[in-house]
Amino acid sequence: MIELTILGNSAATPAHDRHPTSQVLALPHKHFLIDCGEGTQIQMQRYKVKMGYIRNILITHLHGDHFLGLVGLLSSMHLQKREEDINLFAPIDLMEILRITFKYSHTVLNFKVNFFPLPPQSGEIIYQDDQVSIETILMNHRIDCYGFVFQEKTKKKKVLVDKLPPDTHWQILVALKDGQDILDESGNLLYRCEDYTLQPPSYKFVHCSDTRYTESFLAQIAEANMIYHEATYLHEDVHKAEYTFHSTAREAATLAHKAQVGKLVIGHFSSRYRELDAHLHEARRIFPNTFLGIEGDTLSVELPKIEIPKVEK
């Protein structure tokens, strides 16, 4: 399961019992904290997200509602005797903010923070392992601001074992999973890989942080299984969105529609709106598979099901 848990969904300031921006993306065997607004560690406690699970933190930009909870979170990890490294991906100036803060509080963390400055370009791979890569997207905001594409690596093939003889050797199964054709000792083709396997789909999740409406990164986010996109305003306030370099719910939905994504989650709601139903209705008129990013909710990244053909016995 790939799941996104919303910890904070408010823009700029806490309002209406909503908290500044923070999310946790849970992938198999790893968790990524995306942004860390004020009160993030309290929200983690409230929604049962364990600090120890967090090994990677991504900060989209240096407006306070996206990073002012970070010092408190790192300090609490220190007080809990954490020893495991944290990887921190953020605009380079955050390193100076942390250095000065810990210098004057006379804090020396028990663990190492591996700081990775975000590059000035879109399309740069900032993280990868054997399961997933993370690529940068440049947002259109008042200051340098980033989004992220989480792309799963290609999985091993699924072998259609029912099409093979029941006594097929395990080494043949392994070779087919690895994409190899099977030949006999004379070099004759026994099993063509594409005839006896299916390719499982790989997930693609996109996080679009604070931004004016732009189609500049449409190709990068195309056909994602799920995207999160800010929807600070309703479209009746589009002039405010343009002035503050933010988006409306209609604009987020328009981008999702044009990118042909599977699911849209909207958040980062302005304090001028106590109720959020209008955001949902506005977005769903354009992109029906839209969901509000409500604090405490966990949304699944859904993959297409593999249709396994029936084999005549």
Model confidence at 168: pLDDT above 90: no
Query: For the residues 207-230, what does the mean pLDDT come to?
Result: 97
pLDDT at 307: 63
Residue in the structure block whose two tokens are 């090994």: 55
Residue in the structure block whose two tokens are 């910890």: 7
The model's pLDDT over 187-203, given as tens digits with 9 standing for 90+, comes to 889 888 888 888 888 89
How far apart are alpha carbons 179 and 233 in whole angstroms?
A: 48
pLDDT at 234: 98
The 10 Å Cβ neighbour count of residue 233 is: 27
The 10 Å Cβ neighbour count of residue 149 is: 22
List all residues 6 or more positions away from 235 whose beta carbon is below 8 Å from its beta carbon. Answer: 248, 249, 250, 251, 282
Query: For the residues 65-93, what does the mean pLDDT come to?
Result: 97
How far apart are alpha carbons 126 and 136 in whole angstroms?
A: 7
195 is catalytic: no
How far apart are alpha carbons 303 and 202 in whole angstroms?
A: 7
Model confidence at 101: pLDDT above 70: yes
pLDDT at 198: 85
The model's pLDDT over 221-254, given as tens digits with 9 standing for 90+, comes to 999 999 999 999 999 999 999 999 999 999 999 9
Highest CATH level, class, for 3-155+200-300: alpha beta
- List, as one string, the DSSP characters of 129-143: -SSEEEEEEE--SSS
Helices (H) and strands (E) in the chain, counts: 9, 18
Higher pLDDT, 128 or 170: 128
Percentage above 70 pLDDT, the chain: 97
**Catalytic-labelled residue, pool 35, 65, 167, 184:** 65
Q: Are 51 and 73 within 8 A, CB to CB? A: yes
Model confidence at 304: pLDDT above 80: no
Q: What is the pTM of this model?
A: 0.90
Q: Which of 85, 70, 74 is nearest to 34 (CA)?
A: 70
Every domain of the chain with CATH number 3.60.15.10 lies at 3-155+200-300
Query: For the residues 50-78, what does the mean pLDDT come to?
Result: 97
